[in-house]
Structure 1
């Protein structure tokens, strides 16, 4: 009799980090879509000049991508510095008081439900194999071989923001003038629904609810900037 196939969850190193980069990419693309769309729709509400719309859109794209990259670089650099400091602190403690650290590791496994004897045996075996890795994983949830990269985070954010920003920019520039704003609304809201569904899928959350949140928020942002741009255009300020 054929045995049923067992589906195994991935346990390779770096899987959590890859999922985090994917989530960050989806969020970066979403930011690019919304901020650039709001900018070009607002300008289009004030003027029909293609050059003005293109200039505003490109300025928003470049400025947003650079801002996202810098923000991610600073944030991830701070996280990496903190992780390195914790690793060095744990290394010193293992060198200076190995007995206390062994007892601490045993206690951590007892708190997870192991018996005192089993917890002690596990702690001793892991310590003999790689004491630092064992303590980092059990105490801090850190993998010293899988630390986040600030440059990777910055590049990922810049690229995802740029890709997201290109959609509303193309949607507002390619159609004939009377169709610019309607086409942009449809394209942007469809893209937001897609990114919301993908983000929810990655987090095992309800897809429809996440998509609706983004669509409603995006529609409000576009409507507000369109009204503002139209008001400024009709009053001669734009």
Structure 2
């Protein structure tokens, strides 16, 4: 009887790029919209508003790319160091490493003899992979990918930031604040729903979370802009 391959695809495989994409787009919408609203509240001048929005888009995208790359690179360096140390221990102390892997399986509820047999077979197949997964928690799905994270964050930030910037460009100057506020909240709600659906999570809570904090950020910056702004005479 021909065996069937297990073709089920798990959502955890998306976690690397999904995290960077959601973070980038969310930050792009919130930070750019907040800056536009703050500037508009301080001085309702279309040129100043658009300059602030473009500057926020460019600076934010570059900052997200650099920050995400550096952050995930640090994670990748740590993973490599752990794997190098594990590789050395496997070469110098294979019996101790076999016992260590056996104890991991035993602690998870596997009967002792079976755990030792499984550990021996796993190490015979690929010792480093077995220890990376079961001892260190490093898998191909969750491994750090700095370049992917940096590029994804920059692109999604720029896409997110473009939404409030476009609204500010098209709306009458007197309507910039409410137009950007409403459009940004709608974009945040859509982003939250898409992110939750892609990741297999509940949509309602994700939408409420991003909309609430986005509204808070824009309200605060609008208040600061109104407090310290000037009214043309």
Does structure 1 residue 125 correspond to structure 2 residue 121? yes
Give the structure 1 partner of residue 9 of structure 2. Answer: 10
* Alignment partners' CA distance in 2, 1:84 and 1:60: 35
1:96-131 deviation digits (Å, cap 9, x = unpaired): 111111111111111111111111111111111111
| Separation of aligned partners in 1, 2:53 and 2:189 | 22
Give the structure 1 partner of residue 32 of structure 2.
36
The structural deviation recorded for 1:198 is: 3.0
Higher relative contact order (CA 8 A, sep 6+): 2
Q: Aligned pair 1:62/2:58, yes or no?
A: yes
- CA shift in 2, pair 1:205/1:17, >3 Å: closer
Q: Is the 8 A contact 1:29 1:160 kept in 2?
A: yes
Question: Which of the residues 210, 218, 228 maps onto 2:214?
Answer: 218
Cα deviations across residues 148-201 of structure 1 (Å, max 9, x unaligned)? Answer: 221221111111111111101011111222332222111101111122223334
Deviation at 1:95, TM superposition (A): 0.6
Where 1:48 maps in the other structure, the secondary structure is coil
Q: CA deviation at 1:74?
A: 1.1
Encode CA deviations 1:25-61: one digit per residue, 9 max, x unaligned. Answer: 1121011100100101111122332221111111111
Q: 1:99 to 1:68 in 2, by over 3 A?
A: same
Rounded Cα–Cα distance in structure 1 between residues aligned with 2:190 and 2:13? 22
Task: Please give the residue correspondences for 1:70-109 in structure 2 after superposition, counting only pairs within 5 Å.
Answer: 70-109=66-105
Matched, 1:21 2:20: no
Q: Distance in 2 between matches of 1:24 and 1:146?
A: 13
Residue 177 to residue 10, structure 1, CA distance change in 2 (3 Å) = same
1:64-88 alpha-carbon deviations (Å, 9 max, x no partner) = 1111111111111111111111111
Query: SS of the residue aligned with 2:229?
Result: helix
| Unaligned runs of at least 5 residues, structure 2 | 1-5
What are the ranges of 5 or more consecutive residues in structure 1 without an aligned counterpart?
A: 1-6
**CA–CA distance in 2 between the matches of 1:90 and 1:231?**
58
User: Structure 1: how far apart are the matches of 2:100 and 2:62?
Assistant: 45
Shift of 1:212: 1.9
Q: Structure 1 residue runs of 4+, over 4 Å off? A: 202-205
Structure 2 residue 178 is the aligned partner of structure 1 residue 182: yes
C-alpha deviation, 1:231, in angstroms? 3.3
Whether the 8 Å CA contact 2:35–2:52 is kept in 1: the answer is yes
Structure 1 residues 114 and 19: alpha-carbon distance in aligned structure 2, compared to 1, 3 A threshold: same
Assess if the C-alpha contact under 8 Å between 2:16 and 2:144 holds in 1: no
Local SS of the residue matching 1:41: helix
SS of the counterpart of 1:215?
A: helix
